[in-house]
Structure 1
Amino acid sequence: MAFTAMLVFLSACGGSSEENETNEVTIGYFPNLTHIATIVGLENGYFEEEFGEDITLKTKTVTNGGLFMEAMATETIDVGTVGPGPLLNIYVKDPSYHIISGAVNGGAVLVADNDSGVTELADLDGKRVAIPVIGSTQDVMLRKALQEVDLSPTTSGGTVELYAAAPADTTTLFSQDSVHAAATQEPWGYVLETQANGQKLLDWDEFAWGKESTNTVVAASENFMENDALTESYLKAHLRAVEFIQKNPEESQALVIEHLKELTGQELNADEVEAAFNNLEVTTSVNEQVIQEMADISLEAEYVSSNNIDGMINLSILEGLKE
């Protein structure tokens, strides 16, 4: 059964939980490949099955982590997948949101325009680089990579200009010579290579923390987590989706293509999706050291006033389900 965003596919038909009277859950995610676990969970009906008939499920798609966290803060998203960068930016101000599982490692690349003269990382000196949004996970990853060649963004006194743009718009930016490179998630990196004269500067296993780079996590609001049954239901569905993807990569890619076609009206090329899929790892693991380093970089960038993220990562329910 295909699942269209914002479609209510169940009606509330039972009583509320004794623990929490919530009878409606809104799942948030982005319309891209790094949110494959959520998409497969929806397409295969895992969330519907695990939450049961007493819970009405809705979905909400957003295009960047800032919008995701804004929706979570206004209680229009309860749980879903987002990059750790936007989550930690909010957490240090309001510790009401938590990482309850990993979702995807890798899946982000750094691509340069072939006509830009940029052939290695150091060539970004004086150049403009597209990122999804200021404070995004790709922003933080780019800052980490620039540190390795003694460069920094103009906002931190350096020479590399960061330019916020939706990933889907970066092909146009390349063709207009408006940016020289892009730090982006898949499949947009592959699209830049094949459709916009791009060349990969750093592959997914080289960019920032490489294969250990945590790109997407499951985030939940504290209100949602007050109901253990709801949290367990989500994570059971998430675990099933991750296992399905690991065992059935081709079928999972087809589900993503169909889902995004219904969502956006555009059909991704199967070869592009396959190539992009090979640039990520679907997992429930969370690299806490990497996320702490991301918080440190966010503090240096003055995106946050503190790098104290103690308590942000709460994997207790996930670990209990794995036992």
Structure 2
Amino acid sequence: MKSSRLWRALTPLITVGAVALALVGCSSSGSDGSSVDSTSSTPGQVSGTLRLGYFPNLTHAPALYGVEKGIFTKDLGPGVTLKPATFNSGTQEAEAILSGAIDAGYIGPNPAVNSFIKSNGDAIRIISGVTSGGASLVVRPEIASVADLKGKTIATPGLANTQDVALRYFLKKNGLRTDTQGGGDVSIKPQDNSLTVDAFQNKAIDGAWVPEPTASRLVAVGGKVLVNEADQWPETNGKFVTTLLIVRTAYLKKNPEIVRRLITANVESINGLNADLAAGATVANTALGKLTGKPLPDKVLASAWKSLTFTPDPIAKSLLLSAQHQEELGLLKGAKLDGIFDLTTLNDVLTKQGKATVADS
């Protein structure tokens, strides 16, 4: 598919991602860019490299937890080298996936959809759900209603990312115009989550629609929650997918056993978090501290953690609806998503654990 205006608009936003790509792009590659050393159909003899992307966000807690606890290393086995890489937005990580700089990643639904459509359905497959919930619109205390947002500047993590689409669709439903250049009734300012709290304190923005823990960090410095995104999903009883696990299709075809082990590690990490949520929060926060230089304060951690649900269910209906919203906003054309899910291995793993399987529609 030819590049759309949307992807040309996204290009300035991926500069930071280019740095991350340089860091992760040094592993040995196959002819299609996959980081494959060798693979065997015998599970105990698999070898290769898995370059895995994720964010330093609590919405990516299964990745944080799994890496910190050594679950991925254990489940992948001694023959598979894990090379983690972190990103600050779905835009950056989607570019890394499409360029072949990483093999799999934890990412939001809209960047996953964008990657699938941009590649004519060839580049990626969604192989598991990860997290539901954990996104809010946090604003200054004097903003008392949606009407008060007119003339204000609101941040999102990136143009056409999951929270960006949610904000734009919410404003459209409430009769407020936006555009991709920051104009309209409400000026939307895409920026890295790492910049949002300082921008809010410096009054460069009036609020932000962001995932956790950024939402709770904004509340901690004087913001208030105007919209909990869960309230915007009556079609799915307040459940909406925030994070998914995707893999490059070429890597999946070459390395089905490594991908099976990755899925197993993801499910095991989710199980570990849900078995003891308090302990899981501590582990995830420790991992965050290592990545960002400072763990979250206990109050922020507790606030953020309670809004998150960790599940291998990709909540497919919410993803499909979000893609429709993106199309209605003019940020996406031809949202044909047949084949975006490949949940066969996930359901096999869940069945062997005696757990309910999940659906792709």
**TM score, norm. by length of structure 1:** 0.89
Distance in 1 (CA, whole Å) between partners of 2:293 and 2:314 is 33
Query: Which runs of no fewer than 5 residues in structure 2 stay unpaired?
Result: 1-19, 25-36, 352-361
CA deviation vs aligned residue, 1:251-272 (integer Å, no higher than 9, x gap):
1111112112122211211221
Residue of structure 2 equivalent to 1:90: 115
Residue of structure 2 equivalent to 1:173: 199
Higher mean C-alpha deviation, range 245-254 or range 18-27: 18-27
Higher mean C-alpha deviation, range 20-29 or range 67-76: 20-29
Of 178, 183, 186, which residue of structure 2 is paired with 1:160?
186
> Which protein is richer in helix relative to its size?
2
Distance in 1 (CA, whole Å) between partners of 2:292 and 2:207 is 25
Do 2:288 and 2:295's aligned partners in 1 also have CA atoms closer than 8 Å? yes
Distance in 1 (CA, whole Å) between partners of 2:252 and 2:179 is 39
CA deviation vs aligned residue, 1:92-151 (integer Å, no higher than 9, x gap):
12121111111111111110112xx42122322222110011011001111232233222
Equivalent position SS for 1:57: strand
Residue of structure 2 equivalent to 1:112: 139
Equivalent position SS for 1:314: coil
How do 1:284-295 and structure 2 match up within 5 A? 284-295=312-323
Do 1:107 and 1:215's aligned partners in 2 also have CA atoms closer than 8 Å? yes
Equivalent position SS for 1:182: strand
Seen in structure 2, the aligned counterparts of structure 1 residues 168 and 208 have a Cα distance that, compared at 3 Å, is: farther
Distance in 2 (CA, whole Å) between partners of 1:163 and 1:71 is 23
Residue of structure 2 equivalent to 1:200: 225
Of 205, 210, 231, which residue of structure 2 is paired with 1:184?
210
Higher mean C-alpha deviation, range 78-87 or range 173-182: 173-182
Higher mean C-alpha deviation, range 18-27 or range 67-76: 18-27
Distance in 2 (CA, whole Å) between partners of 1:270 and 1:207 is 28
Equivalent position SS for 2:243: strand
Distance in 2 (CA, whole Å) between partners of 1:177 and 1:61 is 28
Confirm or deny that 1:246 pairs with 2:310. no
Higher relative contact order (CA 8 A, sep 6+): 1
**TM score, norm. by length of structure 2:** 0.80
Aligned-pair distance for 1:75?
1.7
Confirm or deny that 1:37 pairs with 2:62. yes
Aligned-pair distance for 1:292?
1.3
Equivalent position SS for 2:238: helix
Equivalent position SS for 2:317: helix
Distance in 1 (CA, whole Å) between partners of 2:80 and 2:151 is 53
Residue of structure 2 equivalent to 1:10: none
Aligned-pair distance for 1:55?
0.8
Residue of structure 2 equivalent to 1:101: 128
How do 1:196-275 and structure 2 match up within 5 A? 197-207=222-232, 211-226=238-253, 227-275=255-303
Aligned-residue Cα RMSD (Å) equals 2.2
Do 1:89 and 1:298's aligned partners in 2 also have CA atoms closer than 8 Å? no
Residue of structure 2 equivalent to 1:12: none
Aligned residues: 309
Of 39, 42, 53, which residue of structure 2 is paired with 1:17?
39
Residue of structure 2 equivalent to 1:147: 172
Do 2:47 and 2:79's aligned partners in 1 also have CA atoms closer than 8 Å? no
Do 2:54 and 2:86's aligned partners in 1 also have CA atoms closer than 8 Å? yes
Distance in 2 (CA, whole Å) between partners of 1:19 and 1:159 is 57
Do 1:46 and 1:240's aligned partners in 2 also have CA atoms closer than 8 Å? yes
Distance in 2 (CA, whole Å) between partners of 1:73 and 1:104 is 23
Distance in 2 (CA, whole Å) between partners of 1:201 and 1:160 is 15
